[in-house]
Structure 1
């Protein structure tokens, strides 16, 4: 803006200078014209005065030339001008500067020609006689004493030029002073005009650089003030619009980032325009790497790429499921819709929804139904078979009949246990079970549990040992805790050979974050669990030794119930086992139960 200020100052100075020079020339011309006009008027009056006072003689007289020459010289001294008497025919009768006899005929002089026509003639020309520029005024004069011609008064313009030069000097000095003053004024005027414009320009540049807090601070009511107000209003509007845009972008980005489903947007040029976080995790790629690239670069996901290609080529809605591996298998449902705006195809939008867990749960549900049907079918078939035998009268021996009835009774008990476990597991999984927590004195708790289960252990000569700190308490649901350890200890006794042992160790442990847990360890000397079966032992109806489980009266749901009840207490359960040596179940539960979101 400073060069603009300099240019504006220069332009103002130039305009002022040109105006002043023009004014000077005009004034000089007017001064010269008015001065010459005044001289002409004065000389004309002098001629009229001479015509009225001079004694004329006959031009044809022999003494006319000496007479008029003498008169011309005398008058010239009085008027400080050159006086010339000229006849009507142009002959010089007398002149104050030169011998008339040596002078040319003046009939063709401009002033005489005009005077002949109008009575008074004026002219300015160079005089070769006097070697300078002269002003001539001639008038036609007629006298009764024989004079009929012209009286001409002339004077040099040196005085006019000298006066004009003095005027020029005075004017030049004044113009210089005025020009300097005008320069200062011009600079201040330019500054007053450009300073607010500079401020407005700076603010406009800051707004261009996305600094929408910039404002013009001018309190003026002229056009510049109106411009500043308009700039501020524009900045306010841009700031408000930008905030709305950013809020919408943040909201949209938050929606995209927090969507559980993946979004892939492919534009009309078949390039990836957008990948949200879910799709990045699902495909193990990043939006920054893939944006602007062809979707075909997702070539390691062959099945997915084929579906994308099918959707892009058909430009029609698409609904399919495919498996992708990254690194484990994932089942992905893809829904594709074309993006049409104002009748123009803008690309395809693909929604990826991982349904692996849904399909796994569906399989589990199907397997559960099949397992329940199978588990229920076995005791029902046994009951039906033995009952039909008894009803058919095929058994006459009372002892055999009683054994058949005992089998029917046992199978009925097993059926009741199975139904009870299924109902219990169903309640736990459906989150309909609420914990009723209270302080539990652990040593008293295990005394009660062992009192219930010790007779079963005694029948197999299995020793039961518990090591629990004397004053250790835990906050838990005592009934659910009892259910956990009854299941674990029952399994340990059932799968331990006669003469073996089952031990329970309890200790308090401090975690790195400062919280406290209680660790329960249940160890047996049973047959152990094969390593291949360890990951699945908490599944419903999963049995390591199916024949032995049924013979022992197990339902196959005990460990699954234990796992769910431990989870309900916000704890963890793990297992270690060596085949033929025994198994160890480790449970960690929080010392205090805190409110946690499910």
Structure 2
């Protein structure tokens, strides 16, 4: 822009210089012409004066040449001009500087020919005699004393040249001063034009570098000011559009990142153009490893790569479920959707990945649950039906046998009632339709009441019930549900502990006094223990380690599942540690305080 300013200044100065030079030359020529014209007019007046005052004599007198020569020299001294007397035929009869006899005939001289009429003739030419440019002015005169011819005055133009040189110096000085002033004005004008343009250019460059906060600060109403306002308007529009684009991009990225399903897009070249966080997790890869690369980079996930290849080849909607092993087995549903524009042009394939492992596992669990419920219901119903049919047929006459059959029918009916009750209870708990009423619970009193209820069953098997619960330990919870949790755990411990065994409850505080404090309650028995292979499934519905013993004890197989769900409703955890033949420990950890705004 500085180069442009310099060039503009030079152009303006050149224009001013050329204009001033042309004006100077014109003025000089006009000055010269006007000066020469003034000399001509002055010399013409002098000739007219001579015509009226000069004492002419006839040119044919013998002394005429000497007379006119002497008079010419006298007039030369008076007028400071060369004086020449010429007859009508062009013969010189008197001259102030040369002898007439040595001079040529002047009839063809320009000034003589021009003065042949009544006008004043003039000419400028170089004089060989004097060696200078001369101005010649001639006029035809006629005297009543017998002279008829021309009086010619001539003057050297050297004086005019000196005046012209002086004028040139004065004019050159004036022009130089004027040129300097014009140069300063040109620089100011160029700066006034280029500085705003420099500012606009800097702002435009900042905008091109994505600095959309840049603005043109010009308080002008001319075209440059309008240009600045237009650039500011463009920057405002770009900034607004960019904000919308960024907001939409952030929204899209947020949606993609938080989708529960994976998304992967392959463009028309077979390169991966888009992949979200869930797809990275499912496929065990990072976006920077595959973005912009061929879909064949998915070869670690061979099943998915083959699905992608099929979708790209067929360009139609596809859906499949396949097993992935990376490293654990997972069931993933693949959807391939072709992307077409409104004009029918193909843009690529969009692949959706949905991990349906948990859904399929729940479906299997639901099927197993239905099968288990059917099996569990079938046994007591079959017993009730069989014994009732026997009694109705009248095949039993003995009263003791009848009473025994009726007792079995009653026991199986109660078992069936407990089973249905537990199923309904578990259903309500799993659907979170069990409202918990939180209140401070004194653990020592809670376990005292549970031990009192279970003491008859423990005495029947000579099992010792021990308690290690601090006296002043309180937690916040639903007392009825806590009672249900520990009643189940202690009942199981008594049921699976052999005669003469021991069941113990201990409670200890975890944490350092902050809000994250918990209490750990451990129910330990010296029973038969749980095999290691059964530990992961111990809290599943209807899962029994010793199925024959469980049914004989009247258990429904839902107790531990209910315990687990109730513990989780209290935001607690439960786990089990066990060795076969040595006993088991069920460890429950519960927070001291509950969040009352949570779902019950």
Tell me the distance in 1 between the aligned counterparts of 2:117 and 2:299: 114
- Check whether the contact 1:136–1:154 (CA below 8 A) recurs between aligned residues: yes
Larger CA deviation: 371-380 vs 348-357: 348-357
> How far apart are 1:42 and its partner, in Å?
1.7
Q: Give 1:41's aligned residue.
A: 41
- Aligned counterparts, 1:84-483, within 5 A: 84-116=84-116, 119-343=119-343, 344-483=345-484
> How far apart are 1:397 and its partner, in Å?
3.2
Larger CA deviation: 504-513 vs 366-375: 504-513
Tell me the distance in 1 between the aligned counterparts of 2:513 and 2:295: 46
Q: C-alpha deviations, 1:134-191, integer Å up to 9, x for none?
A: 1122233344544443322211111111111111111122222222222333332323
> What SS does structure 2 have at the residue aligned with 1:401?
helix
Q: C-alpha deviations, 1:211-232, integer Å up to 9, x for none?
A: 2222222222222222222222
- Aligned counterparts, 1:484-503, within 5 A: 484-503=485-504
Tell me the distance in 2 between the aligned counterparts of 1:597 and 1:91: 142
RMSD between aligned residues: 2.0
> How far apart are 1:62 and its partner, in Å?
2.9
> What SS does structure 2 have at the residue aligned with 1:74?
helix
Larger CA deviation: 124-133 vs 404-413: 404-413
> What SS does structure 2 have at the residue aligned with 1:226?
helix
Q: C-alpha deviations, 1:552-581, integer Å up to 9, x for none?
A: 111111111100000000000011111111
Tell me the distance in 2 between the aligned counterparts of 1:408 and 1:500: 32
Tell me the distance in 2 between the aligned counterparts of 1:168 and 1:39: 19
Quick one: structure 1 residues 79 and 514, their matched pair in 2 at CA, closer, same or farther if it must change by over 3 Å? same
Q: Give 2:520's aligned residue.
A: 519
Q: Give 1:554's aligned residue.
A: 555
Tell me the distance in 2 between the aligned counterparts of 1:6 and 1:519: 87
Quick one: structure 1 residues 118 and 322, their matched pair in 2 at CA, closer, same or farther if it must change by over 3 Å? farther
> How far apart are 1:496 and its partner, in Å?
1.1
> How far apart are 1:545 and its partner, in Å?
1.3
> How far apart are 1:597 and its partner, in Å?
4.8
Q: C-alpha deviations, 1:283-317, integer Å up to 9, x for none?
A: 22222332211122111111111222222222222
> What SS does structure 1 have at the residue aligned with 2:60?
coil
> What SS does structure 1 have at the residue aligned with 2:300?
coil
Tell me the distance in 2 between the aligned counterparts of 1:404 and 1:31: 155
Quick one: structure 1 residues 472 and 512, their matched pair in 2 at CA, closer, same or farther if it must change by over 3 Å? closer
> How far apart are 1:26 and its partner, in Å?
1.6
Tell me the distance in 1 between the aligned counterparts of 2:52 and 2:332: 133
> What SS does structure 2 have at the residue aligned with 1:499?
coil
> What SS does structure 2 have at the residue aligned with 1:299?
helix
Tell me the distance in 1 between the aligned counterparts of 2:330 and 2:84: 131
- Structure 1: 5+ residue runs without aligned partners? none
Tell me the distance in 2 between the aligned counterparts of 1:420 and 1:320: 41
> How far apart are 1:372 and its partner, in Å?
0.8
- Check whether the contact 1:475–1:593 (CA below 8 A) recurs between aligned residues: yes
Q: Give 1:577's aligned residue.
A: 578
> What SS does structure 2 have at the residue aligned with 1:307?
helix
Larger CA deviation: 112-121 vs 485-494: 112-121
> What SS does structure 2 have at the residue aligned with 1:504?
strand
Tell me the distance in 1 between the aligned counterparts of 2:326 and 2:44: 122
Larger CA deviation: 227-236 vs 30-39: 227-236
> What SS does structure 1 have at the residue aligned with 2:320?
strand
Tell me the distance in 1 between the aligned counterparts of 2:465 and 2:155: 156
Quick one: structure 1 residues 513 and 186, their matched pair in 2 at CA, closer, same or farther if it must change by over 3 Å? farther
Q: Give 2:529's aligned residue.
A: 528
Quick one: structure 1 residues 275 and 173, their matched pair in 2 at CA, closer, same or farther if it must change by over 3 Å? same
- Structure 2: 5+ residue runs without aligned partners? none
Tell me the distance in 1 between the aligned counterparts of 2:89 and 2:246: 105
Q: C-alpha deviations, 1:430-485, integer Å up to 9, x for none?
A: 11111111111111111110111111111111111111101111111111111111
> How far apart are 1:379 and its partner, in Å?
1.5
Q: C-alpha deviations, 1:381-418, integer Å up to 9, x for none?
A: 22222222333333333333333322222222211111
> What SS does structure 2 have at the residue aligned with 1:7?
helix
> What SS does structure 2 have at the residue aligned with 1:49?
helix
Q: C-alpha deviations, 1:506-550, integer Å up to 9, x for none?
A: 112216965211110011111111111111111111111111111
- Check whether the contact 2:117–2:140 (CA below 8 A) recurs between aligned residues: no
Tell me the distance in 2 between the aligned counterparts of 1:265 and 1:147: 124
Quick one: structure 1 residues 597 and 145, their matched pair in 2 at CA, closer, same or farther if it must change by over 3 Å? farther
Q: Does 1:63 align with 2:54?
A: no
Q: C-alpha deviations, 1:29-55, integer Å up to 9, x for none?
A: 111111111112222222233233333
Q: Give 1:563's aligned residue.
A: 564
> What SS does structure 2 have at the residue aligned with 1:207?
helix
Larger CA deviation: 230-239 vs 362-371: 230-239
Tell me the distance in 2 between the aligned counterparts of 1:105 and 1:346: 108
- Check whether the contact 1:511–1:517 (CA below 8 A) recurs between aligned residues: no
Q: C-alpha deviations, 1:218-264, integer Å up to 9, x for none?
A: 22222222222222222222222222222222222222222212221
Quick one: structure 1 residues 152 and 327, their matched pair in 2 at CA, closer, same or farther if it must change by over 3 Å? farther
Q: Give 2:22's aligned residue.
A: 22
